[in-house]
């Protein structure tokens, strides 16, 4: 499942980066890798801390996307400056593409449900109630499903 999640993130990051005029074509792969790596790192951090609401907020609203971009920018710019980008260029690229990538992942820029579809495959029936129930370790009525539910599965996958 982590491979599927990483593949989805890389696909959307690659789409945004290749459509961007700010990233030189010969650097598309480096920027795509830095963006997808930063998003996976943030997901791992949120999942390992058990902060379910922040995982859901990361893709659930415009404010969640903005907050996530703020959290992603430092790690993303560090990855880019480690690959010979200047700090100013790295910050400019972050500002230009990270919000677009997260919007695509959330399904807010058209297309399918994006990452929510992938997360729902980890546990639940695809509706928000069962998805949240799975994330919380129970069903949509709050009954425990044992084994930590989807959040436990996500922690295992991302660690």
Spell 15-49 as b/e; 16+ CB within 10 A means b.
ebbeeeeebeeebbebbbbbbbbbbbbbbbebbee
What are the tokens at 19?
């459509």
The pTM score is: 0.72
Q: Of 107 and 153, which is predicted with more confidence?
A: 107
Task: With cut-offs at 50, 70 and 90, classify the pLDDT of residue 131.
Answer: very low
Q: Alpha carbon 141 to chain centroid distance?
A: 27
């Amino acid at each position: 499942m982590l491979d599927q999640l990483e593949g989805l993130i890389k696909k959307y990051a690659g789409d945004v980066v290749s459509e961007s005029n700010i990233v030189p074509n010969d650097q598309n792969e480096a920027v795509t890798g830095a963006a997808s790596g930063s998003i996976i790192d943030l997901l791992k951090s949120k999942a390992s801390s058990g902060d379910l609401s922040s995982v859901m907020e990361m893709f659930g609203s415009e404010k969640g996307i903005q907050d996530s971009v703020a959290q992603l920018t430092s790690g993303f710019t560090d990855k880019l400056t480690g690959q010979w980008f200047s700090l100013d260029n790295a910050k400019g690229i972050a500002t230009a593409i990270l919000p677009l990538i997260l919007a695509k992942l959330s399904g807010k820029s058209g297309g399918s449900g994006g990452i929510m579809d992938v997360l729902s495959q980890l546990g639940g029936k695809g509706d928000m109630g069962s998805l949240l129930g799975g994330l919380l370790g129970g069903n949509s009525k709050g009954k425990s499903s044992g084994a930590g539910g989807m959040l436990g599965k996500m922690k295992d996958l991302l660690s």
